[in-house]
Structure 1
Amino acid sequence: MSLYEKIVNRDEKISIIGLGYVGMPIAVSFAKKADVIGYDVSTAKIELYKSGIDPTKEVGNEVIKNTTLEFTSDETKLREAKFHIVAVPTPVNADHTPDLNPVKSASCILGRNLTKGSIVVYESTVYPGVTEDICVPILEKESGLKCGVDFSVGYSPERVNPGDKIHRLETIVKIVSGINEYSLDTAAKVYELVVEAGVYRAESIKVAEAAKVIENSQRDINIAFMNELSIIFNKLGIDTKAVLEAAGTKWNFLKFYPGLVGGHCIGVDPYYLTYKAEEMGYHSQIILSGRRINDEMGKYVAENTVKKMIQANKQIKGAKVAILGITFKENCPDSRNTKVVDIIQELKEYGVQVQVVDPVANIEEVKEEYGIDLYRLEDTKDVDAVVVTVAHNEFTALQLEDLKALYKVGNLSDIDALQEVTATLDEDCDSTKLVLIDVKGIYDHTKAEDMNYLYWRL
């Protein structure tokens, strides 16, 4: 009987190493079809899962409460499984070089508990060659087993989109690859148990690794182009969103938009590819150029916030600014590698007091990672400017009228009174204006301006 058949018959188990935003949805899906062990080094996270709480908010508390998935932080439990999926993060260091420590550590842990006949599939985003040249030697050293003889490896890049309820593991075609025909065929059949969209069998592990890393690099470059257009159009006094809507009427125009590019994928993966290119003696031109543009957008937003505040005759040093949203994307609690932090740090350089509001973000994670205490929206008052950075549902539900309660001049009657007083002043004076920076382009700029906002967006 094959390993695949044993898994289906529940004679053998699947293990998932790393129960984060990627690993948890995979583990829960497989648990519907097979016996699954979910392992994570964080005992605190495991205890949350055991108590029915989903800190990632990817699958929800009810699913966690009802899953048959076995949660553990005991690495020896991995010995009970024969099909292992490694789904740990692959961040970058401060100098933008790949940080492979998580995937190396996971390989060490798994290697110590690897048994003969096992298949190990990596899902972590890496540059071509990492699985075979770095991970396999670790597995062999720790286990004393030989790859291709005693165990096999494969690579199947994750394509889960955190916070997205439509494009899920089950609905996205899964790329699979293996070091040999046996591992490729077994991995493909196992993933077909849960991936309704089907699998694509790549011709090699390196091809699969490369395919993953260019997916996000392509998006990064396209967004960088939009960000550069936004900078140009801003200087020309043209609304970028209006330009993109007009251009978007052509059938083959690619609908990308300017914005902050953070998170653990798009803002990271290009550096993995360019790092490997440098090793091979090639210095990236387009990819790194796009990265430089996107990495500077937080500072660009902060500078324009300050410019608008000056235009509104606000005292910059000591001014109070509300930042609505700190996660790297909407409706997702993940704040890893968020570029909103760049806006916050730049504003603080000007002496601005920043209050960050985010009802979705993981409070402890934000405090530990960035030293930032989050405010509740109802406790945010008397600010000199509002910067909407993340399109959480809670924020998109806010009307322009609702936002006025956050400012020092908090209602229309106060504004009208001030306008009467300043009616005889210079017509360019904007001291009654409410500074609103709309990074995501949520609001209608014409309506905002009609309602006395000094409005700016990318």
Structure 2
Amino acid sequence: MSSSERIVVIGLGYVGLPLAVALARSFSVTGLDIDLRRVDELRSGIDRTHEVDRAGLAASSLRITSDPADCHGADVYIVTVPTPVDLDNQPDLRPVLGATEAVAAMLDGMRKPIIVFESTVYPGVTEEICGPLLERVSGLTRGVDFYLGYSPERINPGDREHTVDRITKVVAGENAAVTERMAAIYGAVTSGGTFSARSIKAAEAAKVIENAQRDINIAFMNEITQIFSRMNISIWDVLDAAGTKWNFLKFQPGLVGGHCIGVDPYYLSYRAQQLGQEPLVILAGRSINDGMGAWVADQLHARREGRAGRALVMGLTFKENVPDLRNSRVVDVIERLKLLGHDVSVHDPLADPDEAMHEYGVELATGELAGCYDLVVVAVPHAAYAEWDDARIAALIAPGGLLADLKNLYASRPLPEGADRWTL
């Protein structure tokens, strides 16, 4: 391996862009994305995901293109496209299969490149689905003309501590030489080092259980939150006490969305069912978390004794302090409140209004919020909301209104006289 080797990263989203920029510090890197708007924005120095700032883009030697012809004949191809689920919560492999076909068309038969997949999949997809597809489209032979590898992505949107240049990267190739070469490539860009998994399937499995584990733990938190609500006990009071034990796992309840935790367990459960194993714990956790938004809305409606009114939902992104709207479960709260008769307005200082409308049909309130609301739901605890002063918060709540604070952001804030407060 030498620094002159050419690497192509397919997909310049939350995962691909930070990786491509990091790799470009040591290698010749081209980033390919089929989204023309995305490419134009990146070329002008704008990353709407906020994972790479303008200075980082300007300083990078990364070449950005939407033309696959610019990517022919590379030494390494890294696929970082999304792997969502469909409306039935079945794996939707179309993005990764489309990227695989695109890579196959780029292979020239002269070099012997490694095709590395970072997209989250169930064990076996890389070797049993993507490998044969590469052979079929390219007419080349795996293990002779090209090689397969897998390195699970570990990007956490908005996390400035566990960035791609600091985390441990798991790597696995179809043979020892490929694994060693991948370790050298990824090792050149991260101070966290690399870990060589025993096989590609083991690396795929490691990724999918990382998020399934978090999902199950959060599901437990959500379930006990629902239990304790029947006893008029706040989960936050319980966690404050339980958290004093040295080995208590400090998970929190909430709306579980995003491109990983709310999706990846379905990949594992799908494969388990194919093999005749019913994944009871995994699917139970998913059921609890997928139903949390509707449960919250029902609790708020009951708290208002069934009286619908003007409602404001603060926050739409899937987590705090990121603009990422993918698989946001705040939408479940919104839709359920509407079904119960509430007139719902939605505000988010970070979300893209066009994307919110396109993905969910939600029109975001812009500018200064005006008027009083019978129900104010703090769904996403953005730092911007934490900075609001007491008067601004109080002005939102109508006389006798309800402040529903899902993450206890405003626990210490005074409310107008007669206003009600609710939290998990």
For Structure 1 versus Structure 2, the TM-score category normalised by the shorter chain is over 0.9
Tell me which residue corresponds to 1:367: 357
After superposition, what is the alpha-carbon deviation per residue over 1:352-403, rounded to whole angstroms, capped at 9, x for unaligned? Answer: 1111101111222111111111112613422111100111111122244321
**Is structure 2 residue 308 aligned with structure 1 residue 341?**
no
Tell me which residue corresponds to 2:423: 457
Equivalent position to 1:132, from 121, 127, 135: 127
Equivalent pair of 1:37/1:81 in contact (CA under 8 Å): no
For residue 408 of structure 1, give the secondary structure of its aligned residue in structure 2: strand
CA distance in 1, matches of 2:340, 2:350: 28
Q: Which runs of structure 2 are paired with 1:169-208 in the superposition (5 Å)?
A: 169-208=164-203
Equivalent position to 2:292, from 297, 302, 307: 297
CA distance in 1, matches of 2:159, 2:241: 27
Aligned residue identity for 1:368: H
Q: 1:450: Cα distance to partner?
A: 8.4
Tell me which residue corresponds to 1:412: none
**Is structure 2 residue 412 aligned with structure 1 residue 436?**
no
Richer in helix (by share): 1
After superposition, what is the alpha-carbon deviation per residue over 1:200-243, rounded to whole angstroms, capped at 9, x for unaligned? Answer: 00000000000000000000000000001100111101111011
Equivalent position to 1:142, from 117, 137, 142: 137
Q: CA 1:183–1:34 in 2, change beyond 3 Å: closer, same or farther?
A: same
Tell me which residue corresponds to 2:26: 33
CA distance in 2, matches of 1:380, 1:255: 37
Q: Which runs of structure 2 are paired with 1:2-17 in the superposition (5 Å)?
A: 4-5=1-2, 8=3, 10=4, 12-17=5-10
Tell me which residue corresponds to 1:426: none
CA distance in 1, matches of 2:419, 2:281: 38
**Is structure 2 residue 224 aligned with structure 1 residue 258?**
no
CA distance in 2, matches of 1:84, 1:173: 20
Equivalent pair of 2:397/2:419 in contact (CA under 8 Å): no
**Is structure 2 residue 342 aligned with structure 1 residue 376?**
no
CA distance in 2, matches of 1:108, 1:94: 24
Q: 1:310: Cα distance to partner?
A: 2.6
After superposition, what is the alpha-carbon deviation per residue over 1:122-181, rounded to whole angstroms, capped at 9, x for unaligned? Answer: 000000000001111111112111111111110000001001111111121110000111
Tell me which residue corresponds to 1:397: 387
Q: CA 1:17–1:130 in 2, change beyond 3 Å: closer, same or farther?
A: same
Q: CA 1:434–1:401 in 2, change beyond 3 Å: closer, same or farther?
A: farther
Equivalent position to 2:63, from 44, 64, 70: 70
Aligned residue identity for 2:355: E
Q: Which runs of structure 2 are paired with 1:52-67 in the superposition (5 Å)?
A: 52-67=45-60
CA distance in 1, matches of 2:418, 2:129: 58
Aligned residue identity for 1:75: P
Q: 1:408: Cα distance to partner?
A: 3.3
Q: 1:452: Cα distance to partner?
A: 4.5
CA distance in 1, matches of 2:253, 2:414: 20
Tell me which residue corresponds to 1:49: 42
TM-score by length of 1: 0.90
Equivalent pair of 1:78/1:114 in contact (CA under 8 Å): no
CA distance in 1, matches of 2:342, 2:293: 15
Tell me which residue corresponds to 1:110: 103
Aligned residue identity for 1:17: I
Q: 1:38: Cα distance to partner?
A: 0.5
Across the aligned residues of Structure 1 and Structure 2, the Cα RMSD in angstroms comes to 1.4
After superposition, what is the alpha-carbon deviation per residue over 1:289-309, rounded to whole angstroms, capped at 9, x for unaligned? Answer: 011000000001111121222
Equivalent position to 1:285, from 274, 280, 288: 280
CA distance in 2, matches of 1:444, 1:159: 32
CA distance in 2, matches of 1:148, 1:448: 66
Tell me which residue corresponds to 1:243: 238
Equivalent pair of 1:355/1:380 in contact (CA under 8 Å): no
**Is structure 2 residue 268 aligned with structure 1 residue 273?**
yes
Q: 1:451: Cα distance to partner?
A: 5.8
**Is structure 2 residue 320 aligned with structure 1 residue 330?**
yes
For residue 44 of structure 1, give the secondary structure of its aligned residue in structure 2: helix
Tell me which residue corresponds to 1:407: 397
Equivalent position to 2:210, from 212, 215, 228: 215
Q: Which runs of structure 2 are paired with 1:300-315 in the superposition (5 Å)?
A: 300-310=295-305, 315=307
Aligned residue identity for 2:215: D
Tell me which residue corresponds to 1:357: 347
CA distance in 1, matches of 2:115, 2:271: 23
Aligned residue identity for 1:356: V
CA distance in 1, matches of 2:390, 2:132: 58
Q: CA 1:449–1:233 in 2, change beyond 3 Å: closer, same or farther?
A: farther
Q: Which runs of structure 2 are paired with 1:75-86 in the superposition (5 Å)?
A: 75-86=68-79
How many residue pairs get matched? Answer: 422
Equivalent pair of 1:53/1:65 in contact (CA under 8 Å): no
For residue 154 of structure 1, give the secondary structure of its aligned residue in structure 2: strand
For residue 219 of structure 2, give the secondary structure of its aligned residue in structure 1: helix
Aligned residue identity for 2:422: W
Unmatched 5+ stretches in structure 2 = none
Equivalent pair of 1:448/1:455 in contact (CA under 8 Å): no
Equivalent pair of 1:274/1:287 in contact (CA under 8 Å): yes
Q: CA 1:249–1:377 in 2, change beyond 3 Å: closer, same or farther?
A: farther
Tell me which residue corresponds to 1:98: 91
TM-score by length of 2: 0.97
CA distance in 2, matches of 1:401, 1:308: 24
For residue 169 of structure 1, give the secondary structure of its aligned residue in structure 2: coil
Taking every aligned residue pair, what percent have the same amino acid on both sides? 47
